[in-house]
Amino acid sequence: MLEHPNSASGTGSEPNSPGIHARSSRRRQAVAVIGGALVCTAVAAFMVSRSSWWTGPATRPGAGPPPREEPRAGATMPGPSTSTARPEAAAPTAESIRQEAFAVIRQLMEEFPDDPGAMCLMANVHMRFTQSAEATKWWQRAIDRNPRQANAYHGLALVANETGDRKKALELWRKAQEINPDLPGVYGAPAEALLEMGRPQEAAAALEKEIRLSSGTPRLYYLLGQAYHQQQEYGKAVERYQKAIEMEPRDPKPYYGLASALAELGAPDRARECMEKFRQRKDQEEQAMLEVRRTADDPFVATQVLAEAHTDAAGFYAACQRLKEAEAHWQRAASVDARHTRCRRALAEWHRLGGRPAEALKFAEELRKIDPAQASYHLYAGDLLIQLERYDAAEEALRRVLDLAPNRPGAYRPLIQLLLPRNKNLPEARALAQKLVELEPTATNWRLLAEACCRGGDLDGARQAVRRALDFETPGAKTPEGRTPPEQQK
């Protein structure tokens, strides 16, 4: 399954509106998965005037300016309430794009005037256009309507942190955590403030939680490297810096941290090599930062905000089971921003759950082109290609996953499961299965190794692997290291 930002609404109530009946179990599943996951995903404010770690900058660090395409905004959003979209303007202004973004949420609020979730979406748009005072009003209004609106506290915390009130921001984040401990960003965002306040142990704990809660980003791993660095745990810092570099090799900041940590560990040659890479990438970052500092008056940035507004609205409508409107908003977001990933993740999953893997693959391939360093996109495409029985292409995609994430068990399992039934590259499949059990020694993985050994003619190895699998399944059994197997952990 494609990795969505995992979030719960934290509203304590769902919008009360008559929903259309799902026509199949797949559609009901789509509502539960897509709608529930996306309705409040974007509550973390997007500060378009500068790089914001919780959503990422307008361009990836060190990547330089993206291709400057004229934003295709300004046309009326196609949907059930619109008859015909007027011709697109040759060069829409930031103001016309901004008006459409606010119109999207205003239409939603006309239908759900008292819903705190809709109020939070209005706050999001104001915050993305750097109107923090207006955003604060809407988040406060949402809290007045529902005191357990976790994402509203999160938004207020972001505003407090931006104004330098770290103490107030941390109090608000703690409140959000108490209400909804699974809200993305609610641990990672305060971690940066904790680092600035000289509290690296608390920052490291918060970042570890955030990485477990949501997909780890290069920024999260870089900050975690800093947290361990400040605690003089240089080995852990090196590991996290390297992970950040693996995910985003063009960002210079982790190279600097890695060079410093390696120097502390007595590896001067490697430290000098990393410092040279830092210098090489610094000039590229300076150009990228110019792009990040674009303001909301720039049509390019305004278009990004518009795509986020449509994607937010889509998640809201999906949660209300108004599926036609949801899909129309996702499609509009994809049409206005050629590099917007969140709407494409939703559309890919929408088609997959609807039994349309070929349509889902189109969006998966777009995601792979937009962010080729994201292993989850290649993994998702590989799964779809298997469904379509395009096995060679699936194998290529899964090998790319392995290249990008060589220490993640999930990168090995699908490739092994693709090779074994076809009796293809059996020695390699066994080697991959052996590596898998080293990374994650579970009964399931030991059985996979047993199958690889058996298909390769190594019956003794297969028997040993089966015994290990049974050991892991035996109540009270311990691993050779004295640990309780994952299957038996509560």
397, 361 contact by CB (below 8 A): no
Does residue 73 surpass a pLDDT of 50?
no
Q: What percent of the chain has pLDDT over 70?
A: 75
Instruction: State the average pLDDT over residues 430-436.
Output: 95
Going by pLDDT thresholds of 50, 70 and 90, the confidence category of residue 45 is: very low
Give the pLDDT score at 4. Answer: 36
- Higher-confidence residue of 474 and 34: namely 474
- Higher-confidence residue of 402 and 298: namely 402
- Model confidence pLDDT, tens digit, residues 383-426: 999 999 999 999 999 999 999 888 888 889 999 999 999 999 99
- Model confidence pLDDT, tens digit, residues 351-363: 999 999 999 999 9
- Higher-confidence residue of 151 and 32: namely 151
Does residue 139 surpass a pLDDT of 60?
yes
- Model confidence pLDDT, tens digit, residues 330-344: 999 999 999 999 999
Instruction: State the average pLDDT over residues 152-172.
Output: 95
Instruction: State the average pLDDT over residues 236-262.
Output: 91
Whole-number mean pLDDT of the chain? Answer: 80
Give the pLDDT score at 468. Answer: 93
Domain residue extents for the chain: 41-79+92-299, 416-490
| Pairwise CA distance, residues 124 & 140, whole Å | 13
- Is 41-79+92-299 assigned to CATH 1.10.3720.10? no
Going by pLDDT thresholds of 50, 70 and 90, the confidence category of residue 280 is: confident
Does residue 195 surpass a pLDDT of 50?
yes
**Least confident piece of the model among 80-84, 110-114, 189-193:** 80-84
